[in-house]
Amino acid sequence: MPKVFSAEVPANIGSKLHLPLRHSEEAALTRPFSFVTLRFRTLLLILLSIDFAFILVNVVAAVAKDAHLISNVPTLLKITEDRALPEDFNYLKWLVICIALAWTSLRDRWLAPVLWAVVFLIILIDDSFQVHEHVGSSLSEWLDLHDSALFDGKDVGELAVFGAMGLLSLSIVAILLRQRDHASRLLSRRYLLIVLVLGFFGVGVDAIHSVIAHLTYGTSIASVLAQLFGMIEDGGEMLVASFATAITLVPDGSRATPQPLGA
């Protein structure tokens, strides 16, 4: 009786043919760097402790200033001051996330992480060079945007720039959410939630602050509200960045090293 051709493929064919490593269904749970041995909660607690220390210093200094105990909050420690230590710490977080995702993509030959690295690179560039502020201000002058009862012209320009960056990021997210593999969708849902919460603090709270600043202009509580909303906006961004860094370096239930398909 003649042999019937079988399409069955041996389970270990990948190792025999030395196929390149691709991301598995659990690749999203793989640590980018094996030397990061801390647990997720431990790393998150360390990062949040530094954030809260900066926030606490600002709160205490603001109270001391209002009590006329000091003349000003130290510029180097202001969480609302660009290029101050708290902002530099945030820049470092975004940079670590970009490097970790780019390395994961290269190591595992996986498209999703490098596309998310682009999203966080946009956030890093905007945060460190104040792109939306400078471009938004120039845009408002070019379009001759006038102040309204609730918004300054430059605020409208900034929102337009945020919208453009958001559309670019959403285009990348749309590509990722169409991926068939579970790991890419899992990774994308996770980072999409992080970006949305970041947008709430960076755009939503900032817009609310602008409206309230217009409504309370010239009142005794205007400066207090300005400090409060500034701390909420920048403090919230710091906390989100810390969570994003921790979940990138130590994904929940992660392995220390990647495993090839079929392992």
Q: State the number of CA atoms in the 13 A half-sphere of 245 facing the CB.
A: 25
């709160």: which residue's tokens? 59
Local structure of 30: helix, strand or coil: strand
Structure confidence at residue 98 (pLDDT)? 98
Domain boundaries, the chain: 28-249
Contact 120, 72 (CB under 8 A): no
pLDDT by residue, tens only, the chain of 263 residues: 444 434 444 444 333 333 344 454 544 468 999 999 999 999 999 999 999 999 999 999 988 988 889 888 888 989 988 889 999 999 999 999 999 999 999 999 999 999 999 999 999 988 888 775 666 666 667 776 666 655 666 666 677 777 788 888 888 888 887 877 888 888 998 999 999 999 899 888 888 887 887 778 778 788 888 888 889 999 999 999 999 999 999 986 555 444 443 33
The reported pLDDT for the residue numbered 238 is 97
* Contact (CB, 8 A) for 136 and 160: yes
pLDDT at 153: 62
Distance (Å, rounded) from C-alpha 148 to C-alpha 23? 51
Tell me, what's the pLDDT at 258? Answer: 46
Tell me how far apart the alpha carbons of residues 167 and 190 are, in angstroms, rounded to a whole number: 18
For residues 53 and 28, the answer to whether their CB atoms sit within 8 Å is: no
Helices (H), the chain: 13-17, 40-66, 85-108, 111-129, 131-142, 153-177, 182-199, 206-215, 222-249
Residue 64 contacts residue 74 (beta carbons within 8 Å): no
- Chain position carrying tokens 């408002």: 140
